[in-house]
A and B are shown apart, each in its own frame.
Chain A
Amino acid sequence: MAGSSSDQTFDVASLVEDFDLNRIGQYVLVILFIGFFLAPLETGIMTAFKTNRAVAETIPLMPPLAEGFTLDNMTFALNALSGAFFNSLFMAIPATIGSVLLGSMAAYGLTMVDWRGQMGMLVLFLIGIFLPYQAVLVPLARFWNNIFPLASMMRPLFVAAPILQDYHANLVPLMITHIAYGIPICTILFRSYYQGLPSSYVEAAKIDGASITKIYRRIILPISKPMFGVVFIYQFTQIYNEFLFAFTLITGSDTPEAVVTLILPAVGASTSGIDFGIRMSAAFLAALPTLIIYVAFAEQFAEGLKSGG
């Protein structure tokens, strides 16, 4: 009798027991941090869609209401950046693919193929990672302008090519610079992944008579697909967001071949003051490509981090 009745009555005390102060504290902290990190982002997006008046009169965190809403900022920013977008992607995508692919090949050669002097080579790669960019800027500019003026050499080619204009040739030195400076870090990332692979993969293939290039093409390259996701995202973000080399090798933000990072500081800034709506729109647009890459490669990224990186 007593048992059946207690089944029916709702036991409030047992519910309370489940609340753990520690857990509550944890959640409060997490929510606080989320707010802390997301508030600026939210502010930025909200500001991007506000008229100048709304920006001035409403709290930054508030969404734009009725009359305060506008798409003009976005359109303006898109117009200002469209050329730069093309330039940036035209430079960053080949540079990323180049450095990731070469880095993977170098890592394969340094980890899975035996040859004399491997260690010395690896040290050179390591030094390459720690080379301060500031130290090479002047020689780099002199190299591409005076010693080996690749851009002016390639200009006729670019004139003949469809879509491209002659000034796009100026992006080629920047592309090659990014490939060169990206290889060391890509190599080290791939190296740690390849070291985790069983050496029997390569040995079994060797016994079957596969050449070093065939082993790379048929076995190592397909196996390292998840790692390519990781390195690709990382490297694209690096190159796309890079400012120093772009600033040195491309003369300025007023040139037609300027990349996004060069143009961005100037958009929405004028002698009459800063137009926050436009600036925020431009910043949001500039960040889009990296976001898209993250989403597109998210699966490989997660798998790659899990299995090697």
Chain B
Amino acid sequence: MAVVGSNVLMTRTPDAHFLVEGRHAGAKVVVFSPDFSQVSKIADEWVPIHQGQDAAFWMAVGHVILREFYIEKQTAYFESYIKKYSDMPFLVELDHTKKESLKPGKFLRASQLDSTSKIENADWKMFVIDQDSGELAIPYGSVGHRWQKTKGEWNLKQEDSLTGKKISPVLNLDKATNISTKLVDVEFHDFSDFEDNARLSRKVQVFEIMTKDGPRLVTTAFELMLAQYGVSREQGGDYPQNYDDPSLPYTPAWQEKFTGVSADTVIKFAREWAASAISSNGKCSVIIGAGANHWYHNNLIYRAIITPLILCGCVGVSGGGLNHYVGQEKLAPQASWGPIAFGLDWGGPPRLQNAPSFHYVHSDQWRYDTNFTDICAVADESHSMANGHTVDKQAIAVRSGWLPCYPQFNQSNIQIVEDAKSEGAKSDDEIIQSVVKKLKDRKLKFSVEDPNNPESYPRVWYIWRGNAILASAKGHEYFLKHYLGTHNNAISEEMAGDLVKEVTWHDKVETGKMDLIVDLNYRMDSSALYSDIVLPAATYYEKHDLNTTDMHTFIHPLQPAVPPCWESKSDWDIFKGIALHTSELSKKYFEAPIKELVISPLMHDTPAEIAQPSVKDWLKGECEAVPGKTMPIMKVIDRDYANLHNRFTSLGPIVRQNGLSVHGTHYDVDDLYDEYMKSNATKTWNGKTYPAMEEALQACEIILHFAAETNGELAYRAFQAESHKTGIDHTHLAEKNRSVRMTFNDLKAQPRRVLTTPYWTGITNDERTYSSYCQNVEEEIPWRTLTGRQHLYLDHETYRAFGEHLPTYKPRLTMHTARDLEKSSKDSGSLILNYLTPHGKWHIHSTFGDTLRMKTLSRGIEPVWLNDKDADLIGVNDNDWVEVFNDHGVVCTRACVSARIPRGLAFIYHSPERTVSVPKSKERGYKRAGGHNSLTRARLKPLFMIGGYAQFSYAFNYWGPQGVNRDTFVVVKPLDQVEY
């Protein structure tokens, strides 16, 4: 068990005992953490790795495993696993570089060969070579098979989908029969040095294939992996000689300078890792968390770590795999919760967005940002997504249908329809065509293209439960400035003016964009304090609700022990009240239902995820502007605001008509809908009767009745649907539980374990412990990716332009590149430190940390943790007051001086409120100091903006750039006099 960037003992309080107990059952625990964290206490080995450098360590682990367990010696279990469950045997084309050399290209597609170009979805089906025949084969299970008309071919059977013959794919080309291979120079990138990223030329074994466009060189993704990891079979090129070679990636000696951990430690770890995987058939696992996640290059850290897991056959094995301990917000009974939460029972699409993009754009943080290539090395700057300003990439992403944006246009979605109609559009289709034309003619724009246009920016903000203004607001002070137009401590300069091309720049902008902020909350947290209206909400012990997460296989009831205190109400009643008043007001403003045009991105798990085999921009004339193909999906929908309350309190007919689905797997519920009405409360309006959702408890019952996780019949139907897609019968997984029905009263008696469904990839039948992807491995259900396998090679052209098509290492931001301290004073007597905000003890983000009990059990304040020797340098003693600041803002707090914190780091645990014991800042003119997010800013990596391409397609809470905050630098200096 490796624990990376996750302080399980402190932040996973309820489950921590399992980790400790696993150790007594014979598991070895290795903890990777820059500080001696709480979880380090239970480690066999604590590896004090430098913060944010985990990728370097794990790339070297991959190097050792590939060399010793694939090349020097072959491991049957590992090989058979990656042949079947990873993309390693798939064929990749080699493209010519500008020089003499070749570089890795796209997976070879069926569309490129004469013999296969006519098959359905030929752009989305890929090849392997069969070991015995030496012939090309297209295995089942690619995203092309998923969305083709003929169902039943989306599976992981080791068979050629063209002939149905059994195949055994080749990994190493030197093992292939009947093909003649040769060695060619292929270009790889070494990003170790940000200032000078090197191109390496490494010989790779390839062979030639005749395509429609002439002969092309291809190789397996596995051959490219070996070359990328620097594992040579004496074939020549810039390969490291041995483990001790520090100059070339990714040897154990190479990683020392980044991680501060010795090569010997890497080698010993890698050998024990692989050996344990061999003797247990893959029971090695990694718990990974926010400590490794919130870095700019978090994807590379994660990929470096999951690669050894895949190479050792650990993913989809009980007791193995990557356990990602970030986020608990994915709830289990999604299919029935979704319609209620997003109003899908009455229409749609819902308006959802990834918050980091929204806030980066609208809190105007982009204005203080430069070109992203100043912090991110790329392989090919000539690609349209691999250069320029981040906000420009966001604009491209929106118009290409990759990411959502709100507001959507610089005109009202209702007005657009009105205008189109007045100009003669009659049908929905004509309305859409008229809007497309206006967008092309630039008479209409997406709001993101001009974020400071008063027509474009958001005005009203409802905050529900999140501490959106502070705890999750990376760049909090910019929120204060640009959303609220109030006091703030940011002093950074705007830098985007000369850089942006796709969005409009205004030299002067209005601050205080929000006219109204409403906060629905049970705590007077920082966000509530800064809101115009606070709607006091019931706590967990004052209302009916359900509680599930994706990391825990039980469903729990919340029940009122007491009625809501004072004037507070349950969330359900508050929203119901808002719906009621909206309906009443609507009678005045909207006499009849109205139409609006809503855009939504090309969604994952829908046929739209195979919309864009290549990146083309309709605005630049590179392709036609086609909604749902080259631009967002457009839909004209009816809004019946007068009946909003009626709809809110009734389960709508669309559920009955269309059934429910998650991840593109659908089940019918019409009979259950009718059955439900027979024995439960109903509501009749406008002459029709629906299941009632007047009360929170009724909504809970509906969720339980219609979800596959809590209704065995629906789990069975969902597996029937899944079986139809894969051509393999999976219903045995639901057979035993088919008669299970969970009601709220059942949960009251005892929390229940959720049923095994195709929506969650583990198998929990027969009291098995949940481990993700066990269904994929045991049932041969494809991963929802391009090849249907786990991808180590990512062939999207943007990934290749970023040089991230293969697992790689890119350095952290430096103080110089991060530009957090351009204007802040850095006098002697102050320290410059890397600033981290790990998850804290007794807080769930900001909740509970500020209760008097918890403040009493800590320091009465959320302190900044400093290393003792660092503190000595500036004469700071334990419990002294300090100022922590950078260009984004300032925090005034006390120092907690501890030798368990490494030098060069400052911690403020995530996250304090700015309500209790906050002094004024001497550094910023005696204005009130802020909270931990006063020191951060949002930095988006444009790589995560791409879309319409298999797994790189938008899904709420799954895909889109994240608001990372670890690459931050601060100045710390003593605060002699405290003023409140």
Partners in one complex: no
Which residues of B are in contact with A by a Cβ distance under 8 Å?
A: none
Which residues of A are in contact with B by a Cβ distance under 8 Å?
A: none
